[in-house]
Amino acid sequence: MRGPTKAWRRSVPAVFALCSVVGIGRARGDEPPQLAPITAGPPLERSGPDAAGRIDPARSSRLSSAERDRLYSQIERDAEELERQGAQLRRLTLLLRPCVVHIDARKPVQKPTRGSKPGSEDEAGSGVITRVSDRMVVITNRHVVNGADLDNIVIRLDDGRELRPQRMWTDPATDIAVMAVADDDLVPARLAERDMVQIGDTVLAIGSPFGLSHSVTLGIVSAKGRRDLELGDEGVKFQDFIQTDAAINPGNSGGPLVNLRGEVVGLNTAIASNSGGSEGIGFAIPISMVLFVSRQLVDTGVVSRAYLGVTLDRTFTQKTAERLGMVRAVGARVSGVTKGSPADAAGIQPDDVILEFDSQPIDDDDHLVSLVSVTPTSRTVSLGVFRGRQRIELQMPVASREQFEPQ
């Protein structure tokens, strides 16, 4: 069985750093505080020779029975504090396991080898049960189920039950798939309503790596806003990935990334790996994008995205920024404007640099594209624009991308 999580095959150099963290405290003046020594027990007696006349020279350095008992008491007190923290993880696991599913999909072979007959292949992944627009669904990655008929998709629950999806919607541009399911006793996961996760936050990844269903791994959010990954043959057009070091392996695709409050903050999708296994660099679709896409798929069957009508400079350099009067190359430089587009109507001009979109600072062109991709149509957004060595504010009603770029 082939695991579905796609590895980012670009060479990733391994960098190892040995760090030592030293905490320094001050008791009074410039003198460091003194550590309390472990209280010694009664003096140890040296052992005499054994039956063979041999002497153990290390006998005097061993802990006595009383000293060992005192150490065990200290360890027990310290362990209680750690166990209280560990109990939170156990409670999260208890809450979330029933919400996570294992998915098996049988689909036609995408690229038959020369001389082979057309056949089928099995692909495995994960998914999360939740409620979208008052409908019970399983959200997963499109690449897990793409090409499979509904009758060839098996959804396995934590308690061993098997379901078949009633209906399926997919969005190739974000690699998100939503499957409608029906059962009397399904447990929906709680989704975070917006992206509040920060770099350094503790997260759990839950899924079925290598077919080992409902595995839980722990890590942190390593980075945000990863937008230039080369994923699969079809690619993923709109990217804004969360990076995590929680172990993600083939089979984790479509499973949830969860915060310490038990809320799903992302959908595990890909790994950066030279070996095909986890090397501590995994990527998850942020919950804002998951919600934006899944709600529209369930409500209308399609995803409608906002459209500005600008061509962006993908090689916005420091030299160009200085020519425009900027200290550094930040934001998205406009190199062209589509006639009759919302940007044209708002007065956007070539060489404008979009610094803010709807009150959110823009890092680069990919960041702007990502924000526009999750903006509802038929609304007005504010733009912060750098033009003529000064900042100006513009208001722009956005349009639907389909009006200008028919599918």
Tell me the backbone φ, ψ of residue 402, rounded to 5 degrees. Answer: -65, -25
Residue 265 has, within 13 A of its CA and on its CB side, a CA count of 24
Taking 3-state DSSP, the helix, strand and coil percentages for the chain, each rounded to the nearest 5, stand at 20, 30, 45
Nearest to 207 by CA among 92, 96, 87: 96
Taking the C-alpha atoms of residue 24 and residue 242, their distance in angstroms, rounded to an integer, is 34
Taking the C-alpha atoms of residue 208 and residue 8, their distance in angstroms, rounded to an integer, is 19
Nearest to 298 by CA among 143, 177, 155: 177
Residue 192 gets which letter from DSSP? P
Nearest to 378 by CA among 297, 287, 306: 306
Taking the C-alpha atoms of residue 63 and residue 44, their distance in angstroms, rounded to an integer, is 8
Give Cβ neighbours of residue 65 (< 8 Å, ≥ 6 apart): 41
Which three-class secondary structure state does DSSP give residue 222? strand
**With contact defined as beta carbons under 8 Å apart, do 296 and 302 qualify?**
yes
Burial class (CB in 10 A: 0-12, 13-18, 19+), 6: buried
Nearest to 143 by CA among 162, 166, 117, 124: 124
**Which residue numbers are catalytic?**
143, 175, 253
Nearest to 310 by CA among 286, 328, 276, 333: 333
